[in-house]
Amino acid sequence: MSNKTILVIDDSASIRQVVGMTLKGAGYDVIEAGNGQEGLAKLDGVKLNLIITDINMPVMDGITFIKQAKQLPRYKFTPIMVLSTESQDGKKQEGQAAGAKAWIVKPFQPPQLLAAVAKLVLP
């Protein structure tokens, strides 16, 4: 029984560290990327059970990443959760339209994150 793998995309190394530690502590494997373009590069056939992405990032933002990830047959159905300081309804609707399944606003509480992950993560 292999662990479930989650891709975490955020331009803040400290956020990646906190999210990574939270997820690893709950038994998940974590792959990290610093922006949407790096995130897409990680979509190289590896099995992912969930993707967590920030919205505001340099090079490629989260909405663009979600749209492009959803075009890839292998990742079309991989659930994507947004973890962002953005809390505006407009942004959330844009994220949902692109394919995001959940939205958590930073700063987050680890139990809140893990509860959302547990609901979304693919078996």
What pTM does this model have? 0.97
Task: Note whether 77 and 47 are within 8 A (CB).
Answer: no
Task: Note whether 84 and 13 are within 8 A (CB).
Answer: no
Confidence band for 1, pLDDT divided at 50, 70 and 90: very low
What is residue 60's predicted lDDT score, i.e. its pLDDT? 98
Task: Note whether 80 and 51 are within 8 A (CB).
Answer: yes
Task: Note whether 81 and 100 are within 8 A (CB).
Answer: yes
Q: Does the pLDDT of residue 79 top 70, yes or no?
A: yes
- Using alpha carbons only, what angle is made at residue 60 by residues 54 and 63, rounded to the nearest 5 degrees? 55
Q: Does the pLDDT of residue 93 top 50, yes or no?
A: yes
What is residue 2's predicted lDDT score, i.e. its pLDDT? 67
* Alpha-carbon gap, residue 7 to 31, rounded angstroms: 5
Confidence band for 85, pLDDT divided at 50, 70 and 90: very high
Which structure tokens are listed for 85? 């300081």
Q: Does the pLDDT of residue 122 top 60, yes or no?
A: yes
What is residue 18's predicted lDDT score, i.e. its pLDDT? 96
- pLDDT single digits (tens) 35-75: 999 999 999 999 999 999 999 999 999 999 999 999 999 99
